[in-house]
Structure formats: C-alpha cells, structure tokens
Structure 1
Amino acid sequence: MLTEIEAVIFDLDGTLVDSMWVWSQIDIDFLGKYGLTVPAGLQNDLEGMSFTETAVYFKKRFSLPETVEEIKQVWQDMAMDAYCTAVPLKPGAKEFIAYLKEKNIRLAVASSNSYGLIDAVLKSHGVREYFDSIITSCQVNKGKPAPDVYLEAARQLHTEVSQCLVFEDIIPGILAGKNAGMRVCAVDDRYSRPQEKEKKETADYFITSYHQVIEGSYEET
C-alpha cells in the first residue's frame, strides 16, 4: 500500500478518530434548544459538507436566527470537551502515525471539521507534532466529494497527487480522494458500516485497524 507513497492524508472523524457519536448527540442537543427534533436522514444529507457548508445548511433548513459563524462557534464549543477528553484514536492509529514518520512520509489531516477541534484532538493524543499540515474544507471552494481539500493538502505537502495516499471512512470522502487522483484506503467505522460494500467498491484498500497496514494484512478491493 505504501509503495511509492511520499505523503499520507487522513480524514479526521470516523477515520483517524472515533468521534461520530459526538455529532449525533450535538445534533440532538442543538436542535432541541429550538424545540426541534433531528429529522430522519440528516447525517446522510450532511456527509462530505464542510463545517461552513453544514452551518449554512442548518441555518436555512431550520430557519435559525444566529449567523453562520455563530452556529459554527456554538458547535465547536459544544464539541471541544469531548474532543479533548473522550474521543479516542482509531485502533492502531498512533502506532501507524509513528511508523509513517519513521519512514519520512509527510502527514496531513484534510477534514470537514473545524481547525480548532482537529488541533485539539491531535494534541490530546500527543500526535499533533507528527503532522505537517491541517487543512479544512472551509479553506477551499468546495467540500467533499469535490477534490479541493485533498489537492490543497498535496500542494501544502509539496507532493504529487500520484504519491499521496488517503484514508477515509465515508463515500463522499473516498470519492474526494479518488477525484484528486490519489489512492484511497477505506476505514471501517460503525456509523458508515451500512456503506461497507460501496466503500470497498470505490476505494483501493479497506482496513478495520491501522495495524493491518503495518502488518500488510489489509484488504485490496
């Protein structure tokens, strides 16, 4: 999998960290303040959207009085404690990150989440210093499945797209990596498990643990 790879780019939520449960609860608590319940299929509608795109969607769909920036700040404040104290890395992630750095492979996170939460969770696990760049979809023109955030990551890492390997957990993210011309490894996550067949069909590889990459026991799809 790592043959001729000079840079590895990770999505964050559901890929590098097990955090999707945080957002399910935030949706409930946030909308509950307005006397609203979470509509069926909301998470599916939001897949791949940047933090800003998601706030725009919420403001319009639920007719919220706050500005987009205010909504984003509320969400970040609601999630920060969990990202600092309760969100774990995915199995084998810390060992894999160290393994990549030993091989002098450049590392980045390219995520739809906010910079503040990405930075906080990486610091909480003592791995922030391993990453050369953090790129959010809010910094580019379009969220996933557009390739923009991965192309920007490659630019910041000074690496050709053909030498970049992406790790992603959902279909829009996998497509974003493929649309950027990169190889993509799909990562198992319980929130996207119903998509597993499609994930394997879309990505180049599939893992349930990062130990599989180190051991060479990953699945080629």
Structure 2
Amino acid sequence: MKNDFRAVIFDLDGTLIDSLGVWAEVDRKCLEKHGIPPTPDYTLAVSSMSFRESAEYTIRRYGFSETPEELMAEWMCMVEDEYAHHIALKPFVREFLNHLTAKGVKLAVATASPPKLYGPVLKNNGVYDYFDAFACVEEVERGKGFPDVFLLAASRLGVRPCDCLVFEDTLPGIRGAKAAGMTVIGIYDGSSQTEEAKMRAEADGCCKSFAELLPNT
C-alpha cells in the first residue's frame, strides 16, 4: 500500500469518536418504548444510514406510527447533549491527526451524523479545526454503502478519489469508499465486531487502534 496519500477521510462514529454506547442506548430506548427488544442486526443496519434513512427503515421494519420527522426529533433530543458535552475521542485519534497534519495531509470527515452532531462533538474535543472539509450523507442521495459521501468529501478537499485514504469501522462504509476508488483501512469498533472477518477481507488493511499507525508507538 502506498503511503503518499494527499488526503485522509475519516468516518466519525466508531472511528474518530467513541459513540457506541450512546447509539446503543438510543436504540434500546426507542425500541423498548414500543415493546421491542433491540437486536445487534438492527443497530448494524442503521449504523451507516442517514438520520432520515434510519427513521424510514425503523418505521418500515417495525410498523411504527410515527412519521420520520417525529422519530428523528426524538432521537436528536436524546443525543445532542451527549455529543456536545460527553462523547470522547477514541484512543490516539488526536496524536494521529497531529501526525497527518505535520505531513501536510488534507483531512476530511465523511459521516452519517448530521452537522448538529459532528460539529459539537469535534469542537468539544478540540479537533474540529484539524479538518479541511466535512460531508454527511444527508447531503447526498445514498448512504454509506455507496460512494456518494466519499466522493463529496474528496471534491471538497480538491483531490482525486485515488489520492484518498479512508478510515471506516463498518462494512457498508468500507464498500462505499472502495466503490469511490479510494484505499480503505478498516478500524476496529465494538459495534462492528460481528463483521470483522468480512471487513478484513474487503478492506485494503485493518487495525485495532490508530496507535498502530503512529511512528515510535
């Protein structure tokens, strides 16, 4: 694998930030409110969708009476404070961002989370200004399983897709970035552990932590 990428594009949830517990709790509260036990396949299915896609999928799968707007508003109330004040970076993220910045690499975030979540959590952790561009799936036609959001991020960075390295923690994200013509590293997160073998097979490489990619660690 080449090591002279002009840009690095990061997923947010499960890659840059440790948000697994927050979304698991949202899933639990939402489903249990309707008398439905949460299941790992549901959490995995919505992990790479936009808010609207997740709401529409949930309503379709379980036959909820809420509109997508009502369900999205309920979820947003649950998570906004957590993202703004409590969710932390995953280990060695700050050090890796410093390492890339020192090398003059352009940085972007391509995420399923909307701006009202990714902005506050990155600012609260003091890393928002590391990034040259942001793209979220709400701005494109299709979710993380497709190349759209990654291509948007590359366009905003002003680089070719083939010059981008992507870090993703889910199989749909890996597939979408590969479809965009980018090199992809799968990074471990507990939310995707059931698909770790497939991620290793389809990504260009995998790592457990950004510590593995830092010099002298």
Task: Normalising by structure 1, report the TM-score.
Answer: 0.90
Asked if the contact 2:44–2:192 (Cα under 8 Å) also holds between the matched residues in 1, the reply is: no
> Residue by residue, what CA displacement relative to the aligned partner does 1:48-85 show, whole Å, maximum 9, x if unpaired?
22221101112223333433233222212201222233
Report runs of 4+ in structure 1 exceeding 4 Å deviation.
none
Residue 144 of structure 1 aligns to a residue in which SS?
A: coil
Asked if the contact 2:27–2:43 (Cα under 8 Å) also holds between the matched residues in 1, the reply is: no
**Pair 1:27–1:102, CA change in 2 (3 A):** same
Task: Please tell me whether residue 149 in structure 1 is matched to residue 154 in structure 2.
Answer: no
Asked if the contact 1:59–1:65 (Cα under 8 Å) also holds between the matched residues in 2, the reply is: yes
Offset, 1:160: 0.4
Partners of 1:59 and 1:216 in 2: CA distance: 49
Partners of 1:117 and 1:194 in 2: CA distance: 26
Letter in 2 for 1:174: I
Partners of 1:195 and 1:25 in 2: CA distance: 21
> Residue by residue, what CA displacement relative to the aligned partner does 1:110-153 show, whole Å, maximum 9, x if unpaired?
11112211111101100011112221111101002111110111
Q: Which residue of 2 aligns with 1:120?
A: 120
Asked if the contact 1:92–1:211 (Cα under 8 Å) also holds between the matched residues in 2, the reply is: yes
Offset, 1:174: 0.6
Q: Which residue of 1 aligns with 2:68?
A: 68
| Structure 1: gaps spanning 5 or more residues | none
CA RMSD of aligned residues (A): 1.9
Q: Which residue of 2 aligns with 1:17?
A: 17
Task: Please tell me whether residue 7 in structure 1 is matched to residue 12 in structure 2.
Answer: no
Task: Please tell me whether residue 77 in structure 1 is matched to residue 77 in structure 2.
Answer: yes
**Superposition pairs of residues 1-221 of structure 1, within 5 angstroms:** 3-39=3-39, 41-215=41-215
Residue 113 of structure 1 aligns to a residue in which SS?
A: coil
Task: Normalising by structure 2, report the TM-score.
Answer: 0.92
Residue 94 of structure 1 aligns to a residue in which SS?
A: helix
Offset, 1:47: 4.0
Asked if the contact 1:76–1:116 (Cα under 8 Å) also holds between the matched residues in 2, the reply is: no
Partners of 2:82 and 2:65 in 1: CA distance: 26
Offset, 1:36: 3.4
Residue 192 of structure 1 aligns to a residue in which SS?
A: helix
Offset, 1:39: 4.7
Letter in 1 for 2:105: I
Partners of 1:120 and 1:70 in 2: CA distance: 22
Offset, 1:35: 3.6
Partners of 2:197 and 2:71 in 1: CA distance: 35
Partners of 2:128 and 2:45 in 1: CA distance: 30
**Pair 1:212–1:27, CA change in 2 (3 A):** same
Of residues 69-78 and 179-188 in structure 1, the stretch that sits farther from structure 2 once superposed is: 69-78
Letter in 2 for 1:58: T
Partners of 1:194 and 1:36 in 2: CA distance: 22
Partners of 2:68 and 2:194 in 1: CA distance: 31
Letter in 2 for 1:173: G
Residue 18 of structure 1 aligns to a residue in which SS?
A: coil
More helix by share: 2
Offset, 1:92: 0.6
